[in-house]
Amino acid sequence: MNCRVVVEAAVPVYDVETPDEAVRIAISKTGEMLNPDLNYVEINMGERSCPHCGEPHDPAFIAADESLVALELEMTVFNVEREEHAARIARKEIGQRLENIPLEVLEIDVIEEDTDETEDDEGEEVETADNEMGDDNLVEQDPGLEEARDDEVLPEFEELIDE
């Protein structure tokens, strides 16, 4: 089973004046901490609302030029047995890179696997990839194309090709 897990992170940001600035800095800061290891994690603004009236608020709370920004981090976890297992994996993977940032699992969605549609889609993708990148097939049909490709190589790479 595959699951999409959404985790909320409370990211502290310093020396900011507006909520928009705080959100931009928090997203950038979080992206730097996650990349390149977890570049597949999507980072979005969190949604906050008043617990009493339900009125929406900015995802950033600012006091004394410091801010706490709510971000939603979304990742897909593959080959898990239960939803709780997917949540633990997501929290562990994200939490290892975001030190001292509290995380809370907001949502876990099971991704349905359609085997019939997946096979059809994959077959179409393979055919498209062969048509776009099938240079070897074209060379077999027209040997003159290989000479044209060799002429397009940059001079500094010619030495590497000759070796």
pLDDT at 154: 52
Grade residue 155 by pLDDT with cuts at 50, 70 and 90: low
pLDDT at 5: 96
Say if residue 50 is in the same domain as residue 31: yes
Say if residue 126 is in the same domain as residue 52: no
Q: Quote the pTM value.
A: 0.65
Q: For the domain that residue 39 is a member of, what is the CATH number?
A: 3.30.70
Say if residue 102 is in the same domain as residue 42: yes
Query: Is residue 149 scored above 70 in pLDDT?
Result: no
pLDDT at 160: 58
Give the chain's domain count: 2
- Please report how many Cα atoms fall inside a 13 Å half-sphere around the Cα of residue 58, on the Cβ side: 13
Residues 6+ away with beta carbon under 8 Å from 98: 9, 11, 30, 33, 34
Say if residue 154 is in the same domain as residue 87: no
pLDDT at 115: 53
| pLDDT tens readout for residues 13-67 | 999 999 999 999 999 999 999 988 888 899 998 888 878 888 888 889 899 989 9
Say if residue 90 is in the same domain as residue 122: no
What Å distances lie between residue 144 and 7, 50, 74, 104, 132, CA to CA?
Answer: 55, 69, 49, 60, 19
Place of tokens 């009125």: 55
pLDDT at 157: 53
Say if residue 121 is in the same domain as residue 106: no
> Taking residues 118-123, what's their average pLDDT?
44
pLDDT at 135: 46
Say if residue 13 is in the same domain as residue 28: yes
Say if residue 140 is in the same domain as residue 60: no
Say if residue 60 is in the same domain as residue 131: no
Inter-residue contact 19 to 53 (CB < 8 Å): no
- Pull the structure tokens for residue 100: 């001292």
| pLDDT tens readout for residues 55-109 | 888 889 899 989 999 999 999 999 999 999 999 999 999 999 998 899 999 999 9
- What's the domain range around 50? 2-111
Say if residue 106 is in the same domain as residue 42: yes
Say if residue 99 is in the same domain as residue 138: no
